[in-house]
Amino acid sequence: MAGIAIEKLVKRYGTTQVVHGIDLTIEDGEFVVFVGPSGCGKSTTLRMIAGLEDINDGTISIGDRIVNRLEPKERNIAMVFQNYAIYPHMSVAENIAFGLYTAKLDKAQKRKRVEEVAEVLGLTPLLERRPSALSGGQRQRVAIGRAMVRDPAVFLFDEPLSNLDAQLRAQMRLEIKRLHQRLGTTIVFVTHDQVEAMTLADRIVVMRDGHILQVGAPMELYEKPADVFTARFIGSPTMNVVPAKATAEAGRSALQLGEAPIAWPAALPEDVLVGVRPQELRVLGQGEGADLVLSGTVAVVEPLGPETFVHVEAEGGLLLASASAKNPPAVGSAVRLGSPASALRLFDAKSERAL
């Protein structure tokens, strides 16, 4: 097992720079998830850790070795790819054993290792099958098995669940999490799915345009996003963000949004963005009040079983709020939405950084 240290890492394709000197330390045994939209540099960074992309500047260390110039096979890593990359012309057993290609083990020892891994992943009855006879989830398990069999210092996962349906994805997520708890190996996992990031990670690394925007534990990112992008990216459904004006009178700040100004304990710039999560913006009942109250008309109702979300045309645009699952408002009805001041996240309108 080993930690990973990334220092001032740069990647360029021709004149286009796609990773801009990022720094990151991943502790030994940590499960770190890189998350961000397509083209944010997360997969490129992972591939540089794997040795599948050259590094233009900066260093990557695995354990106490700088690995910049080492071949992938010399880095003691194993990687699971998005489309599984299990070899279609080999059986499950051969595929898993392929992870031991360079291992100095005799046939019987290799077979034993393959059987152990197959046992852990529930692949024992499938060992002689060809990949074409496996379901998507089973294929992904074979790919994980091939990575596991080598007992690597670091596991790298490049969007491994993207090709699976929602139900299977949830199941595989659980399996990967349990696998990490069992093995305790360092894992770097790339995804564009924030639910995967939230559920799997010890720490999440949010990336955008080749920069790291924020690194932190899932709940830390959820509750204290460093900027509007992270605030909207982390958490489902997406956080509402509405522009507002702030005023200061006699040294006291107030937020001019909704039915009444909201007193704010800290100094604020004139233009701010107010973020409020749909779960914390509720449809108010008759006579009910809140720190922030916004009025609007219901455009769409989305019942989800335990809760119902409503899209409301209100001041600041289309807002998503939660409503009673039993008595949701009708489409077209006028509603008042309310949220406590403690649930509001404020950002500078210019820099979009948290205030």
Residues lying near another protein in the complex (CB under 8 A): 50-52, 71-73, 77-79, 81-85, 87-89, 98-99, 101-102, 146
- Between 26 and 46, CB nearer to another protein: 46
Number of neighbours of residue 71 by Cβ within 10 angstroms: 8
Residues in CB range of 3: below 8 A, 6 or more apart: 25, 26, 27, 28, 30, 62, 63, 186
In angstroms, the CA 229 to CA 210 distance is 14
Nearest distance, CB of residue 80 and another protein, angstroms: 9
Residue positions counted in the chain = 355
Closest distance to another protein from the beta carbon of 108 (Å): 20
Q: Which is nearer to another protein, 50 or 255 (CB)?
A: 50
Q: What angle do CA 213, 217, 220 make, to 5 degrees?
A: 80
Q: Which is nearer to another protein, 88 or 285 (CB)?
A: 88
In angstroms, give the least distance from the CB of 79 to another protein: 5
Work out how close the CB of 190 gets to another protein at its nearest, in angstroms, rounded to a whole number.
14
Residue 163 vs 279, nearer CB to another protein: 163
CB closer to another protein, 33 vs 149: 149
**HEC string for the chain:** CCCEEEEEEEEEECCEEEEEEEEEEECCCCEEEEECCCCCCHHHHHHHHHCCCCCCEEEEEECCEECCCCCHHHCCEEEECCCCCCCCCCCHHHHHHHCCCCCCCCHHHHHHHHHHHHHHHCCHHHCCCCHHHCCHHHHHHHHHHHHHCCCCCEEEEECCCCCCCHHHHHHHHHHHHHHHHHHCCEEEEEECCHHHHHHHCCEEEEEECCEEEEEECHHHHHHCCCEHHHHHHCCCCCCEEEEEEEEEECCEEEEECCCCCEEECCCCCCEEEEEECHHHCEECCCCCCCCEEEEEEEEEEEECCCCEEEEEEECCEEEEEEECCCCCCCCCCEEEEEECHHHCEEEECCCCEEC
Choice between 131 and 296, CB closer to another protein: 131
Nearest CB to another protein, comparing residues 76 and 322: 76
* Closest alpha carbon to 4 in 41, 40, 39, 34: 34
Smallest distance, another protein to C-beta of residue 74, A:
9
Nearer to another protein, 190 or 257 (CB): 190
How near is the Cβ of 143 to another protein at its closest, in Å? 8
**Quick check: 91 and 129 in contact, CB under 8 A?**
yes
Pick 146 or 336: Cβ nearer another protein: 146
Q: How far is the CB of 146 from another protein (least distance, A)?
A: 7
Q: How near is the Cβ of 150 to another protein at its closest, in Å?
A: 8
To the nearest whole angstrom, how small is the minimum distance from the Cβ of residue 31 to another protein?
Answer: 20
- Kindly tell me which of 131 and 218 has the beta carbon lying closer to another protein: 131
* Residue 153 C-beta: closest distance to another protein, Å: 13
